[in-house]
Amino acid sequence: MKKIYIFLTVAIFAFMVSTANAQNGNGNGNGFDQLIKSSPGDATKLVQNFAEPLFKGFGIGLNSGWNNTAKTKKFLHFDLRITANVAQVPTSGQSFDVTKIGLSNHVQVDPSSTTNLAPTFAGSKSDPTPLMDIKDNNGNTIGQFNMPNGVIQYIPAPNIQLTVGLLKNTDLTIRTTPNISIGSNGGSVGMIGFGIKHDIIQDFLGKAKVLKPFDLAIAVNYNRINYSATLNVQPEFGTLPAPGNSSSDFSNQRIKGAFTGVNVQAIISKKLLFFTPFLSVGYQSANTAFNLLGNYPVSSNVGFYSTITDPVHISENSISGLRTDIGFQLNLSVFRIFASYSPGQYQSANAGIGFGF
């Protein structure tokens, strides 16, 4: 199970590395720590625009794979499944213009830069990226950095879940894991989620189950993933604390992130021997909270830095709207095979295996 959850965090961890990797010295850095050293407000805007496809794609994944049939289980019958969802980021989400996101005068595109378009997390890994100047209050350039390249266009989000049949044609689904450490520098991740599904057509048919033309169910699902990691962003080499600087203790730097998803579905399915096609329509919502906490050195003037606390706060509703899924389930004795597809701006596919009775 630990290996599966390490895979679950690959997308997040790759983003954290590209965001928080410290770049010391006076050359051009390519990590967001350079931006944190110049302006926390600008850092928030650039991190948010860079990571937006990750937030959306991961939110779609949180709301995927809950149900592949409207039929509920008998009392205390169960299935345990592992599924993987992949969301494809559209072309419109693969880049953004750094001059059009409201940056302050402290962060500007260098006149020598060949482009104003920066890749997002899902953008190009090889195209040129904007060269950014860090300015002081007098307009002097006190540092530079390149925007990071993209990481991956397809955002993965695997899940493990246990579904148990309750009374009165109702299922309970649980997704949970304690905090798991991801290596020495990868931080830790934990997850909790639960869902309820009720086959409402059984309420109308009563005991006349032989007449049941299909299964029709209503489901409500909730999922939350928490992520935390420590950082080590130090002052530029050769710089000194500015007069009156409040602190030079940067040992409390950390990332705190939370991704939550809510999904309400109406599901219709029909079992045909071992093959069960299904269609679901519903509403989904996903929220992201991403914060850089602690003390950080901020370039204030040539040769000096000031200390800021808790510089980056992102809280957004990443996804909100209707969702449709179409797919199937194969019942092969105690084994299950699942697959589904969800259209939309961020198209996604889900597939997995499981066992139960």
Q: What is the pLDDT of residue 37?
A: 63
Domain that holds residue 11: 2-356
- Kindly tell me the number of DSSP H helices and DSSP E strands found in the chain: 5, 18
Among candidates 137, 145, 118, 111, which has minimal Cα distance to 37? 145
CA-CA distance, 260 to 63, in Å (whole number)?
Answer: 9
Classify burial at 211, counting beta carbons within 10 Å of its beta carbon; exposed 0-12, middle 13-18, buried 19 or more: exposed
- How many domains are there within the chain? 1
Q: What is the pLDDT of residue 305?
A: 84
Q: What is the pLDDT of residue 7?
A: 37
Percent of residues, the chain, with pLDDT higher than 70:
85
Helices (H), 173-233: 201-205
Tens of pLDDT along the chain (357 residues) come to 333 333 333 334 444 444 444 333 333 444 555 557 667 788 889 889 998 998 898 889 889 999 999 999 999 999 999 888 899 999 999 999 999 999 999 899 999 999 999 999 899 988 999 999 888 888 888 878 888 888 888 888 778 899 999 988 999 999 987 676 765 566 777 889 999 999 998 787 766 556 678 999 999 999 998 888 888 888 877 888 888 877 788 999 888 989 999 999 999 999 999 999 999 999 999 999 999 899 988 877 778 888 888 988 999 999 999 999 999 999 998 999 999 999 988 999 999 999 988
Q: What is the pLDDT of residue 30?
A: 47
Among candidates 136, 56, 59, which has minimal Cα distance to 89? 56
CB atoms within 10 A of CB 282: 20
